[in-house]
Structure 1
Amino acid sequence: MAGARGGCPDVCPTLLYTDARAAIRQLTEAFGFTVRSVHEDEGGVVAHAELVQGNGAVVLGSKGRGGVFDTAMGDAGPAGVYLVVDDVDAHHRRAAEQGAEILMPPTDQDHGSRDYLARDREGNVWSFGTYAPRLED
């Protein structure tokens, strides 16, 4: 998956938040992301942030900054994002302990995955599970 791009994923969900700093705190503390970078504008507003987990990444920024992407997104959302995790139950415990809104506890699915669902503070739905889509045969 990452070979041609030197470790960079080809798909990155991109989300805008009213309070991007609070989103970064929740994604790191409750969902286990690691901050790769945070870029602020002259006023100290988060213009662009990259958070990673495993071999994937999510890009986020602040709503209301103007520009083409901000205008196109408008009041879009919530979005749904799925992440593969090795230990769903441990991941769920961490999220619950950090106060994340749990929509579905860890559940075994008919297609063989074990998943749980949580909602972030601005309404995006995050699915965490053991199912990892194969990109190559």
Structure 2
Amino acid sequence: MENSANPGVFPVLYYRDARAAIGFLTEAFGFTVDFCHPEEGERVDHAELSLGGGAIMLGSAKAAAEWPMAIDPAPQMLFAVVDDPDAHHDRARAAGAEIVMPPTDQEYGSREYAARDPEGNVWGFGTYWRDAAGG
């Protein structure tokens, strides 16, 4: 059953250092930690972070012997909608994010920038193109 108040799809990321990733994502990109288990310690079995109306799940990388759905951490590209890409970019840059594309107006109406997190994931942030185009 769909619940429009909650995201229906959650990108899941595995990090070699999930605690450091959570710290970076909250400081640089403004994510909020909604859930983290365990709350302390080196390993993160499951965490949920949100930004605006979206959410991700993340955890510490696991070996296949530990969990049947284990996969190696691999860089991904994700996109999140933000109201002010320029201010968001400035926050990310100040927190040490590697900027791979400065704030740029796209031909389809969105303003976007992209940054890389410490484990190689590329995060795009910007205004949503369909909303910007009026569709």
Measured after TM superposition, the shift of residue 96 of structure 1 is 0.2
Question: 1:1-137 residue pairs with structure 2 within 5 A?
Answer: 4-5=2-3, 7-40=5-38, 45-64=43-62, 66-70=66-70, 73-75=71-73, 77-133=74-130
Give percent identity, aligned residues only: 54
Give the length in aligned residue pairs: 130
Taking structure 1 as the reference length, what is the TM-score of the superposition?
0.86
Q: What amino acid maps onto 1:13 in structure 2?
A: P
- In angstroms, what is the RMSD of aligned CA positions? 2.2
Point out where structure 1 has 5 or more consecutive residues left out of the alignment: none
Taking structure 2 as the reference length, what is the TM-score of the superposition?
0.88
In structure 2, do the counterparts of structure 1 residues 133 and 69 end up closer, same or farther at CA, with 3 Å as the change threshold? farther
Contact 2:101 2:115 in 1 (8 A): yes
Point out where structure 2 has 5 or more consecutive residues left out of the alignment: none
Q: Secondary structure in 2 aligned to 1:64?
A: coil
* Runs of 4+ displaced beyond 3 Å: none
Q: What amino acid maps onto 1:15 in structure 2?
A: L
In structure 2, do the counterparts of structure 1 residues 121 and 44 end up closer, same or farther at CA, with 3 Å as the change threshold? closer
In structure 2, do the counterparts of structure 1 residues 58 and 27 end up closer, same or farther at CA, with 3 Å as the change threshold? same
